Amino acid sequence: MSDKAEVRRVSEADYDVVMSIRSGVYGGYDYLPSMFKSLITQSHNKGYASIINGKFVAFCMVSKVDGGKTVVTRAGRVNKQYEGRGLYNALKLYLQKHVFSDGTISSHTVVYDDTNQSMMDKTSKGEFTLLMKRKVIGYRIDFDKMSVIAKRTHTTTNTRTLNEVDLITVFKSRSVCSTLFPQERIICNFVPYRLTERNIPLIFSEVSLIVGTGEPELSFITCGVYYRSENGHTFIIEVYGNNNFIREHLILHFQHALQYYPKEIDILIMCKENAADKIDSEIKECQLSNMDVGFKTVFLVEKNIK
Ligand SMILES: CC(C)(COP(=O)(O)OP(=O)(O)OC[C@H]1O[C@@H](n2cnc3c(N)ncnc32)[C@H](O)[C@@H]1OP(=O)(O)O)[C@@H](O)C(=O)NCCC(=O)NCCS
């Protein structure tokens, strides 16, 4: 008897079956288990699964950003038993036919890490255009050490938490954007956004914190996102601009992360390649030690959709 295969849009109620597809995604730093329910209920996100004989075997989340002009495919996974049989390609083909072809979408972006050799090969062959390459540096810190750092006071007064209005001002300033975001993208929680006002409500969430330094114009911005992963409490910090203020930003990010009462937390800093050494030595001044994340580089790539 032949297999019965179908692709179906998933809902909040499919949490358990989607999670059963695969564990250990992104080296255990997968955000999907803790964020699935909040993501899937937002109107710009849709999840799709391949089902074979009733079993969920592959999943992909599609986020429409940039006012609907860009689709981001993310959190993709295939059950290990079914891996390498073309299931992810089949799911992508379904999405191309049924989701990407509404006439408004002009580009498709993907964020992947250096464990995904196939995507790296495709990028070097020109199948995707490389937009950003970000270094990943990991640290593990315990609650007590974090509390000590979070109690420190700022040395400058112009480091502050940014709100949506602040980010509108940032996106409107050509000089700030060209300095901080030369690729015209900001990545928050693995999603790349163009610098448009319509993306701002998507960038902010209850688990995110955006911090900025600079007066009158910002010269340094960090985007922090907290979530629980298989590896435990996880905090991603994306860094943009003049990293001299990284330790001041850590104070605010740690104050934010402490509300989740982590016994221990893994901090993953993502930054420009040539800023990584400086950031690492600044952070080590806070007596934080490195941790192996499982991947060292993250790539943002794009493909035009005709
Ligand atoms: C990545 C993964 C989904 C691929 O599953 P698979 O069963 O090998 O899928 P397929 O047999 O269809 O082949 C993979 C195809 O998808 C492509 N692919 C892999 N990762 C991709 C991604 N993030 N976005 C788009 N395409 C991707 C590969 O280049 C390959 O294309 P090709 O056949 O033209 O060479 C699977 O290995 C997996 O679940 N890995 C762990 C989770 C993970 O790393 N996900 C990446 C999310 S960014």
Q: What pLDDT digit, counting tens, does each position of 260-300 carry?
A: 988 999 999 999 999 999 999 999 988 898 999 999 999 99
Ligand 1 atom with the smallest distance to the CA of 26 is: 44
Q: Say yes or no to pLDDT of 160 above 80.
A: yes
Structure tokens at 178: 């060209």
User: What is the CA(286)–ligand 1 centre distance, in A?
Assistant: 38
Domain layout of the chain by residue ranges: 5-105, 133-299
Ligand 1 atom with the smallest distance to the CA of 83 is: 7
**Cβ-based neighbours of 158, under 8 Å, separated by 6 or more:** 213, 214, 215
Q: Say yes or no to pLDDT of 137 above 70.
A: yes
Across-strand partners of 133?
299
Q: Say yes or no to pLDDT of 126 above 80.
A: yes
Q: Are domains 5-105 and 133-299 of this chain identical in fold? A: yes
Pocket test of ligand 1: the residue of 88, 128, 129, 300 to mutate, having most ligand atoms within 8 Å of its CB, is 88
User: What is the CA(252)–ligand 1 centre distance, in A?
Assistant: 37
Q: Between helices 246-258 and 143-150, what is the axis angle to 10°?
A: 120
| Strands 129-142 vs 55-65: parallel, antiparallel or unpaired | unpaired
Count of Cβ atoms closer than 10 Å to residue 11 Cβ: 13
- CB of 192 sitting under 6 A from ligand 1: no
Query: How many Å apart are CA 288 and CA 5, to the nearest integer?
Result: 49
Structure tokens at 271: 């930054």
- CB of 25 sitting under 6 A from ligand 1: yes
Residue 158 phi, psi (nearest 5): -95, 25
User: What is the CA(61)–ligand 1 centre distance, in A?
Assistant: 13
Reported as a single tens digit per residue, the pLDDT across 61-100 is: 999 999 999 999 999 999 999 999 999 999 999 999 999 9
Ligand 1 atom with the smallest distance to the CA of 118 is: 29
Query: How many Å apart are CA 75 and CA 125, to the nearest integer?
Result: 23
Mean pLDDT estimate for the chain: 94
The single-letter code of the amino acid at 129 is T
Burial of 79 (0-12, 13-18, 19+ CB in 10 A): middle
**Cβ-based neighbours of 141, under 8 Å, separated by 6 or more:** 264, 265, 267, 288
Ligand 1 atom with the smallest distance to the CA of 21 is: 39
Reported as a single tens digit per residue, the pLDDT across 204-233 is: 998 999 999 998 899 999 999 999 999 999
Q: Are 144 and 176 in contact (CB under 8 A)?
A: no
User: What is the CA(271)–ligand 1 centre distance, in A?
Assistant: 25
- CB of 96 sitting under 6 A from ligand 1: no
Across-strand partners of 233?
228, 265
- CB of 22 sitting under 6 A from ligand 1: yes
* Model pLDDT, residue 156: 66
Residue 108 phi, psi (nearest 5): -120, 125
User: Rounded to a whole number, what is the distance in angstroms from the first to the last CA of the chain?
Assistant: 39
- CB of 205 sitting under 6 A from ligand 1: no
Nearest CA to ligand 1 atom 28: 118
* Model pLDDT, residue 154: 67
What is 5-105's CATH topology? Aminopeptidase (3.40.630)
- CB of 81 sitting under 6 A from ligand 1: no
Domain 133-299: CATH architecture, name and number where available: 3-Layer(aba) Sandwich (3.40)
